[in-house]
Structure 1
Amino acid sequence: MSVAGINVLVEETRAAEKARTAPLLSVRGVETYYGNIIALKGVDLDVHEGEIATLIGANGAGKSTLMMTICGNPRARRGRIVFDGRDITNLSTHEIARLRIAQSPEGRRIFPRMTVYENLQMGASLDNFAHFNDDLERMLAIFPRLKERLHQRGGTMSGGEQQMLAIARALMARPRLLLLDEPSLGLAPLIVKQIFAVIRELNERDGMTVFLVEQNAYHALKLAHRGYVMVTGTITMTGTGKELLANPQVQAAYLEGGRH
């Protein structure tokens, strides 16, 4: 093989290696504003394919703002958001969803007047219902309670059932990246354990990539491969879930009756 051929082979090998190691989601230098008030101050964050990454922090730290910025509303004023090698910073929310990024938002935001079945149909609409029957069967297996409530209006269900529906609706879009914003908020401890068990199962069994925003730092870090701590719009700490659980600063602020 010629020298030129060897050089081409080396470059191809490097490109392939970079593709394998590049994060599925990359956030770099992102600043987001509400009017003249800065909410995110140069955020850097990665989520790799097949992992669970979590972002913890006090209420008002900017966690949900980052989640919404990834989805295009509000837009980042500065910085870049890259998904699977594509810059999505300036794409519309609808275009971002079509790239198979699905969100279960804070407060669930199901369609309360629609039945469980109709809510799940809405989740499948981006895929033009191509796999609706198979995916419906899968969701009802993951969340058996929804099978019992299939023709009940979403707004009449309990908070835990609504959270299950919000996650199932997001999964009906067959996402490559699942964004979960405060899935444990306002739920009883037993339901919280069930929700986190489902998240773990989705990751371990199906290889689902999950970015989880949570105030319940203990459960989130116990579940996560990678964790980030946010304080007033800035990432102040990062590490594996185990490293952050063992960190004295994290323990004092989020795990021992301090800020939640």
Structure 2
Amino acid sequence: MSLTMEAGAQARSAATEALLQVRGVKTYYGKIIALKGVDLDVNRGEIVTLIGANGAGKSTLMMTVFGSPRAREGSIRFEGAEITHLPMHEIARLKIAQSPEGRRIFPRMTVFENLQMGSVLGDPAHFDADLERMFTLFPRLKERIHQRGGTLSGGEQQMLAIARALMSRPKLLLLDEPSLGLAPLIVKQIFDAIRMLNETEGLTVFLVEQNAYHALKLAHRGYVMVNGTITMSGTGRELLAREEVRAAYLEGGRH
């Protein structure tokens, strides 16, 4: 095993306590309850995925972790500290980075400028090295470095959104629907990049994904959400083998 892969394995095995703990979280939109008492853990060095149908509450949970919307009940802890009521900018300072659904890059800024924005909370001394890391991870971005974000293809925009989040050197990456609307080859490239970051750098990833097959193949552990409630959990392999998961989420998903 290489030293970098060994570091990733050690990061996973060293953590007995959860990096992220979600306990009894309830989130509302007005009077409508979107999350109905969610419990979930993400351990340091893990890839944990949350799967479920469209509208199940997956993205709401990820946004609640990042502080918008707020959890009305329950507790969210990061590295043992309560973050449930922290402002979003303070959550970001704790080295939690989010690549949100729909990419939300800065369309009028160039690739380089988008990556600069992502590095605002990082150490300026690491900027050049981090930039090269992103270009190694996503060579297409280097080719497009002076191109405006809004003129990139959907796959390139997703790569840019992830790279921008990684520029802050996060301890936890919140990744929301990275495969949405992308061609299978681009999806594979993005999932391979996530796997490599986890294996070589021990990056902890909480992944919300509708493509259950790819997500569960990638993840160490997974949760299934139905109507704002966690209904199943297990290793990625265990959930892939569950008949009810296969019937509900994997039909036609192997692409």
TM beyond 0.5: yes
Q: TM-score, normalised by structure 2?
A: 0.93
1:89-145 residue CA offsets vs partner (Å, 9 max, x unmatched)? 000000000000000000000000000000000000012533111101111111100
Q: Tell me whether 1:96 sits opposite 2:91 in the alignment.
A: yes
CA distance in 1, matches of 2:68, 2:36: 17
> 2:198 maps to which residue?
203
Contact 2:15 2:45 in 1 (8 A): no
Query: Quick one: which amino acid aligns to residue 173 of structure 1?
Result: S
The structure with more radius of gyration: 1
Alignment of 1:1-260 (within 5 A): 20-127=15-122, 129-257=124-252
The alpha carbon displacement at 1:20 in A equals 4.4
How far apart are the structure 2 equivalents of 1:130 and 1:101?
A: 20
Instruction: Tell which deviates more after alignment, 119-128 or 224-233.
Output: 119-128
Deviation at 1:21, TM superposition (A): 1.4
Distance 1:138 1:195 in 2: 15
Would you say the 8 A contact 2:15–2:43 is kept in 1?
no
Q: Which amino acid aligns with 2:31?
A: N
When normalised by structure 1's length, the TM-score is: 0.91
Q: Deviations over 1:139-183 (max 9, x none)?
A: 111110000000000000000000000000000000000010000
Q: Which is worse superposed, 236-245 or 121-130? A: 121-130
For structure 2, the residue ranges without an aligned partner over 5 or more in a row are: 1-13
What RMSD, in angstroms, separates the aligned Cα atoms of the two structures?
Answer: 1.1
- 1:227-249, CA deviations, whole angstroms, 9 ceiling, x for partnerless residues? 00000100000000000000000
Structure-2 separation of matches of 1:86 and 1:42: 20
- The residue that corresponds to 2:11 in the other structure is none
Asked if the contact 2:67/2:86 (under 8 Å) is kept, the reply is yes
Q: Deviations over 1:191-249 (max 9, x none)?
A: 00101000100000110000000000000000000000000100000000000000000
